[in-house]
Structure 1
Amino acid sequence: MKPPRWADRLLEIFVAPHLREDVQGDLHEVFYKQLEQNGLVKARRAFIWAVLHYLQPYFFKRKPSDHPKPSHTAMIRNYFQIALRNLERKKSYTLINVSGLALGMACGILIFMLISYHLSFDNFHANADRIYRFVTEQHRETVSYRPNVPNPFGKVFRNDYTFGEKVARIASSNDVLISLKTGGEIRKFKEDAGVAFAETDFFDIFNYPLLQGDFKTVLREPNTAILTERMARKYFGDQNPINQTFHLDNKVQFRITGILKDLPVHTDRKTEIFLSYNTLRQYDEWMASDESWGGMNSAMQCFVRLKPGVSPAQVEEVLPAYVKKYRPTNKNVHHYKLQPLADIHFNPRYGGAISKSNLWVLACIGFFLIVTACINFINLATAQALNRSKEVGVRKVLGSFRGQLFWQFIAETGLITTLAIFLAFVTAWLLLPSVNDWFQVQISLNPLDDWRLALFLPALAVVVTFFAGSYPGLILAGFQPVVALKGKLSQQHIGGFNTRRTLIVGQFAISQALLIGMIVITDQMRYSTQSDLGFNKEAVVMLPIAPDTKPISLKTVKHQLAQIPGVKTVSVCQSAPASNYNVWNTSPQYDNRSEDELFSVSVKAADEQYIPMFDLKLVAGRNLFPADSAREFVVNETFTKKLGLKSPQEVIGKTLSLNKGQTTGPIVGVVGDFHDRSFHEDINAVCIMSASDLYGSYAVKIDGTTVKPTLAALEKTWSDLHPDQLYEYEFLDEHIANFYKTEDLMLRLIQTFAALAVFIGGLGLYGLVSFMAAQKTKEIGIRKVLGSSIGQILWIFGKEFSRLILIAFAVAAPVAYYGMNAWLNHFTFHIDVSVGVFATAIASTFLIAFLTVGFKSMKAAGMNPVKALRSE
């Protein structure tokens, strides 16, 4: 039923030019309230009376200012009331938008917290900008980087120069055994984070507060220790820990003289037990020596706090003097450098936890996921534009201005975003334990305690609201009222179909790039863990050798382990063929030459069972004879290649000297190359020798069909022989898998992010097919009347989506190819990015797109043509 012509005329002449914005809002409220309660006729009547009421000032020459002016609060309340009403009417539309935004923002929150966590590392120390660590560049045939300097360096630098306010050495030892005797009972604790022998100046350089004791005295005396609060509670409960004692590795006893405040989570120093440095000699005489310039151990580090005004360049100018003085004839040229404290956490060359480039990658992924969610919102909002065109037309006829309509749609977006960010926070909170476990971090989500999170959440809500809501708001608010009321809107009126095409292409380009990355990383991980390593790693269990085990005891334990049913072979060694734990890397002297070779050799200590048990292939010579000390050597093929020899046979019988002549003997065999490190690194020159004083593990080959009873028997036998030690074991294949922990984490992350991007992109496709179905309703009806089949109708939709997916693939493929090739270059041994990777990605995308739009397309294609033709 139409209103009377005089009412239309009244609206056209008086309403639009005269009524204020706030009055128009009141009129809209009157109209819709009556419409809901009493129907269209009474709504029109009530509206007309309301118009006449507000137009009284013009009829009776009164000023509009005589009317009470509604407050801004009332206007805003009106916006949100109408927005809430619209969202309640379109529950599916609201649900899709909320879920898409919530998932994108949940990832954004977690990534923000992870980046914030890493950027806060060790920034709580006073004068942090003047704290540096001494590091070493080793120049051989290649340059390697060490986070340490020779053991005596710190003492000599402190005595020779006055650049530093404080200089301190700290020597760490991981995986130690702490033994406590309580009332006749001995309690044992395995501490993976280990202990640290620290000079007292260390606590002047770094800000680790002491709760009990005095830093001037707590570690002055030998055999003294300080613990954190947590360790004190762990060992002694509610007892006073001061003057309590414990044993380290059943060798050295320490008395507790102080208690530290628990270390902050955002520090690279994980050790919670600090020992007096002047006790180090009792534990490790070589590391404590002030003459051991010939070798380095990463456990020994040296820190300095420079005096104000002293630059790192000034210090580095004098450091080459130490190389000339203490290492004049060594071809392993050292370059000592200063590494800023702020760089330690982020520099992978020196063992940093995470590189800043990885943080940037995470930030970009989080940004793209949020943008993808916003694009999805924009697509769905503009797809709904036709359904709201008459609403906009009515509002404009009743006097609403474009600005009012824009803010009305922004209010709707704000409601969706507010609900989405609440759900995103809950989702992030539920996922946080997994994130902490994956990244080995300790992040908490508490806006009350974290000002950065408290600022980030509202900032994210505001940015998403305006980014996602501005474009639909401007488009919808810009409708011409006459065109909107007549239902004559076209694609151009609502922003153009090309805009939505562009947004969908952007979404799927991101999704496909992530899919390609996921496939490449999966293939590389499979290649790294399943390729032939040059030795047999299957069913090998690594057991520790107890400290101070004598050679005769080694043979006894080895014999008893070999007698266990299910055990095939036992070898004593320092480490497995592929391991990060070698005896040492040193420059060899070959065939009595006058100088060391330019390359370094990785030395592995092992008995005569080592080569046959791991199936290392002898290509020349023979295996080692049984011995307790180094009398002969077996090298690998890379060793002979670096010598420039044509045949491995040429080294047999030649003399090899290691460690400046301290270990000398003939080369008796050559084994085929095997991967002694991860696939990130090239195969090193390797030397295998017998050295019972350097053995650290029993390598036990077991029967794969009797794993459980064999492991139980191994534990019982080992524990019976070492009652004062804690038993632990590790399968070799698990140890090798640990080489790729970072890659495994990246794979899980990219799987998660790719799934989210594809899901959100699917929502965007759903929005596009909804828009197409609304636009092509009449076309579909005409085609069906003229005889088109359902398949031909479906092709209308499939053709459009296929084109968009192929365009997105054309954008994503080169970007992903470049990025993944750059990532693969971190591996010396890696796969090639093949055509199959891209074929799998594009096929997966088409399958996902088909599953996403299939239902909506089928529904549109199956519509009754009579209803379709009547729809317009």
Structure 2
Amino acid sequence: MLINYIKIGWRNFTRHRSFAAINVVGLASGIACCILIFTLISFHLSFDTFHTRKDRIYRLVTQWHDDGIGYSPAVPQPLGKAFREDFDFAEKTARIVDYQNILISVKNGGELKKFSERWGIAYTEPAYFDIFDFPLLKGDRATMLKEPGTALVTEKLAKKYFGDKNPMNQVIRVDNRFDYKITGVLRDIPENTDLRQEIYLSYINLKDWNPWIAGNDSWGGVYSGCKAYALLKPNVNSKKVAAAMPLISKKYFKGRDQKIWRFALQPVADMHFNPDYDGYADTKYLWALFFIGVFLIVTASVNFINLATAQALNRSREVGIRKVLGSLQSQVFWQFIAETAIITASAIVLAVAISAVGLPWLNNLFESEMSLHLFSNGPLLAFLVLLGVVVTFLSGSYPGLVLARFQPVLALKSKLSQRHIGGFSLRRILVVAQFSISQMMIIGTLVIAGQIRYSRTSDLGFNKDAVVMLPLPDNDKVKMTALRSRLQELPGVQNLSLCWQAPAASSNNTTGLIYENRAEEEHWSVNTKNADDQYLKTFGLTLVAGRNLYPADTAREFLVNETFVKKLGLKSPKEVIGKLLTVNRTVKAPIVGVVKDFYNYSFRSEISAVCISSDWGNYGNCAVKIDMRSAKTTLPAFQKIWNETYPDYLYEYQFLDDSIAGFYRMDNIMLKLTQAFAGIAVLIGSLGLYGLISFMAVRKTKEIGLRKVLGATIPGILWIFGKEFSRLLVIAFLIAAPLAWWAMRKYLEEFQYKMGIGPGIFLLAIGGTFAIAAVTIGYRSIKAALANPVKSLRTE
């Protein structure tokens, strides 16, 4: 019986090719999106789940409870040691301090090769590899990283540096300063981990890189690359550990700091998702993608229902004959389910092909290496089987029941009417649901794009255009002075400044402050920026009181911003001029000027209090304002001068506006995904409209013929279809608009500075939808309107 169902189903599939093609394309589009979304979500959910003791692994994190609550995934460097020695909760505790974008030099034969490693280096305690499962391929686990001057590298880097040569006992030079001998090779780091370091150095050598961070008394500062991990003992409850953590603050901090500094445990499974601790993938975005996938597959199934019921009258005689010959309702139902299964199976095959084509685009978007591997990926294979079953019954059940209920006498006499094949109101509801989803996604796309455009085009309080950031590899004053002098002589260079970072940067330093000899520190932190006297001119910062910095080698005076003044509770910027400011409890100098507020983070964060001071020892960049008309000659000249000044390093540069655009990388990713899925939703919705217009054209054939005989014009007949769908689209908009407004308000709540959601966005969404609908229904409705009325009236 099953084979018979399949044979008849295949016969109908090949006989009604246009019907089948529309359904296959619609279902394949929805299923392909579901496959990509499933792959993306499962990839992110798999992060750091491969560690065998993941349920007991925790990261120690920092919180500051003062003027609000601040969060950091990093900790003071001594915390790991204190946790290990003061408590008996952990089986293993390990500290790791990483530095990114580091130059690695390797001698291979007589050639010196240089590599700029994005993930840099990590000074690591050996226990780190007892906590996490990063297998050692070469070397002795018992002795690795215990000796000073030793290193571990991944298999990929070993091949990159030494080719087929044995990497063991080879030497790498770090930052042109320190030599390390390779004593172990690790298996390549998996894609699904946030622990991306590939060069691990002996923790003993941290004191060579930064003596202050390596010190046991460096409790007062948190470097972003300093992490600590603990593998709790099997019988230890994490809540018990969390309750004991305040004891660390009481022991190692004094006075008010005991209440401000807090430490907590973060499960390893939470690291990838928690935005408070710089998690990469916020779970609400994954949930949004999940529901988009559900919506798309539902709308694709709706198309099938619309087209199937539109074809029901054409198949009425076939069903009547089957019933006369003894077919039961259940047999007719399962026959239609079999046909639906064939269409669904064809759609899945096409969807897999579409997914394979779309996956490289998705990988490029997320800078990942996701793969399908259909037959070796058990979860994906199970998902496709389940999806196929769900789609088959979701799409085929209602049309199958409609066909199965046909009365054979009426079917054979062609006496079936609209009420026999199911109410038209259901199909109206389905189309309204389709276009409600489509319009919600269109509105979401417009809002996200608008917010990104708002972030890029708004006045940031400083000039970000045509500013090139050149790195300063070391703090040699002679080299920096020579570089500045030579660059200033180039045509096309308008201004330049030696500084730590631009006014808005992802790398920031915040610290405590004491204003004018007050008894205690303020209950808020200040963002410190080291820069020379040309900083204001280069970035177009505006003074509102006082004067600019005088040229200096060290911090002898400060500039502050307007927010700094407001946080002090003062009414006028002039009130701070001449007052003493102590930063980081060490640097004390007068305030000589106040600059107009500028955005020093992304628009997700409020403008913070800022102070600017000169300090040659902390300059990390040379910011050069150029004339873009001469960029083709200026940029190569930069490279030549930079390479002559720093011949031992690799040249890199970045335009400041590109750096600031990086603040909104995830927003750009979500925008591209939303645009793609909104396009698919519109395509599927358009197929749904075509299905419904086909149904209407069949149902109204005689009515249209009669109207034409009685003198109706073609525009008048077209309006029969137009008014029906105009009404449906307006209803869809009335449903979509408030839902989209609510969802986008939630999205914009993440931003401290944001665009408004005006009526123009909604008008554009409904206008675009009407345009798409007009194109979709135009061909079929015009064909019906132009039909010969004589033939229409003869239609059975």
TM-score range, shorter chain: over 0.9
208, 214, 232: which one aligns with 1:306 = 232
> Is residue 373 from structure 1 mapped to residue 300 from structure 2 by the alignment?
yes
Kept in 1, the 8 Å contact 2:706–2:789? The answer is yes
**Residue number in structure 2 paired with 1:483:** 410
Aligned partner of residue 169 in structure 1, secondary structure: strand
Match of 1:841, SS state, is helix
Deviation (angstroms), 1:599: 1.2
1:262 aligns with 2:179: no
The answer on 1:434 being equivalent to 2:377 is no
Residue 466 of structure 1 pairs with residue 393 of structure 2: yes
Count of residue pairs brought into register by the alignment: 795
Matched, 1:316 2:242: yes
Alignment of 1:785 onto 2:709: yes
Taking the aligned partners of 1:330 and 1:663, their CA distance within structure 2 comes to: 20
Per-residue CA distance 1:790-845 (angstroms, 9 max, x = gap):
11111110110011111111111111000000000100000111111111111111
Q: 1:675 aligns to what SS in structure 2?
A: coil
2:101 matches 1:175: yes
The answer to whether structure 1 residue 151 and structure 2 residue 81 are counterparts is no
Partner residue in 2 for 1:118? 44
Pair 1:586-2:523 in alignment: no
Matched, 1:754 2:681: no
CA drift of 1:447 comes to 2.1
Tell me which structure has the larger Cα radius of gyration. Answer: 1
Retained in 2: the 8 A contact 1:195–1:274?
A: yes
1:861 to 770, 780, 785: 785
Aligned pair 1:871/2:795, yes or no? yes
Contact 1:551 1:628 in 2 (8 A): no
- Name which of 491, 499, 503 aligns with 1:577: 503
Q: Which residue of 1 aligns with 2:491?
A: 565
Which residue is equivalent to 1:19? none
Contact 2:108–2:162 (8 Å) recurs in 1: no
Q: State the Cα RMSD in Å.
A: 1.0
SS at match of 2:176: coil
Cα shift at 1:126: 2.0
Q: Gaps spanning 5+ residues in structure 1: where?
A: 1-74
2:466 aligns with: 539
Instruction: Tell me which residue corresponds to 1:165.
Output: 91
Structure 1 residue 82: Cα displacement: 1.4
Partner Cα distance (1:231, 1:550) in 2: 30
- 1:476-515 matches, within 5 Å, as 476-515=403-442
State which of 502, 505, 529 in structure 2 corresponds to 1:604.
529
Runs of 4+ in 1 over 4 A off after TM superposition: none
Task: Report if the CA contact (8 A) 1:511-1:754 is conserved.
Answer: yes
- Deviation, structure 1 residue 554: 1.2
Matches of 1:620 and 1:140 in 2, distance apart? 29
Which residue type is aligned with residue 650 of structure 1? E
Equivalent residue in structure 1 for 2:565, among 633, 640, 647: 640
User: How is 1:27-176 mapped onto 2 (pairs within 5 angstroms)?
Assistant: 75-176=1-102
Deviation, 1:105, is: 0.2
- What aligned pairs does 1:313-712 form with structure 2 within 5 A after superposition? 313-331=239-257, 333-547=260-474, 549-582=475-508, 584-660=509-585, 662-712=586-636
The aligned counterpart of 2:222 is 296
Quote how far apart the aligned CAs of 1:325 are. Answer: 2.5
Structure 2 Cα separation of the partners of residues 196 and 489 of structure 1? 77
Give 2:725's match in structure 1, choosing from 796, 801, 817: 801
Offset at residue 330 of structure 1 (A):
4.3
- Paired position in structure 2 for 1:70: none
- 1:590 aligned partner, one-letter code: Y
1:241 aligns with 2:167: yes
Contact 1:374 1:467 in 2 (8 A): yes
How many Å separate the matches in 2 of 1:818 and 1:799? 29
Q: Which moved more, 1:808-817 or 1:560-569?
A: 560-569
Does the 8 Å contact 2:531/2:615 carry over to 1?
Answer: yes
1:811 and 2:738 matched: no
TM-fit CA distance, 1:596: 0.6
Helix, strand or coil at the partner of 2:375: coil
Shift of the alpha carbon at 1:76? 2.0
- TM-superposed CA distance for 1:440, in Å, is 2.2
- Secondary structure of the equivalent of 1:705? helix
Secondary structure of the structure 2 residue equivalent to 1:293: helix
* Residues 94 and 125, structure 2, Cα contact 8 Å, conserved in 1: yes
The Cα of 1:268 is off from its aligned counterpart by 1.1
> Residue 251 of structure 1 contacts residue 283 of structure 1 at CA under 8 Å; is this kept in 2?
no
Contact 1:164–1:307 (CA under 8 A) maintained in structure 2: yes
Trace 1:217-256 onto structure 2 (pairs within 5 A). Answer: 217-256=143-182
Uncovered stretches (5+) of structure 2, i.e. residues with no partner? none
Mapped to 2, the partners of 1:746 and 1:801 lie a distance apart of 31
CA offset at residue 134 of structure 1? 0.5
Instruction: Indicate conservation of the 8 Å contact 1:140/1:600, yes or no.
Output: no
* TM-score computed with the length of structure 2 as normaliser: 0.99
Quote how far apart the aligned CAs of 1:175 are.
0.4
Q: In 1, distance between residues paired with 2:169 and 2:604? A: 48
Partner Cα separation in structure 1 for residue 47 and residue 445 of structure 2? 30
CA contact (8 A) 2:479 2:645 kept: no
Matched, 1:771 2:699: no
- AA partner of residue 514 (structure 2): Q
Task: Using the TM superposition, give the Cα deviation of residue 172 of structure 1 relative to its aligned residue in structure 2, in angstroms.
Answer: 0.7
Q: What SS does the corresponding residue of 1:831 show, helix, strand or coil? A: coil
Shift of 1:183: 2.9
Query: For residues 297-335 of structure 1, what are the alpha-carbon distances to aligned partners after superposition, in whole Å with 9 as ceiling and x for unaligned?
Result: 120100011112211222222221222232213458111
Deviation at 1:481, TM superposition (A): 0.5
Task: Return 441-450 or 215-224, whichever deviates more.
Answer: 441-450
Partners of 2:748 and 2:425 in 1: CA distance: 37
Whole-angstrom CA distance in 1 between matches of 2:110 and 2:548? 49
- Alpha-carbon distance in 1 for matches of 2:114, 2:294: 48
After superposition, what is the alpha-carbon deviation per residue over 1:458-507, rounded to whole angstroms, capped at 9, x for unaligned? 22111111111111111111111111112122222111101100110110
| Counterpart code for 1:634 | L
Aligned to 1:16: none
CA distance in 1, matches of 2:266, 2:363: 28
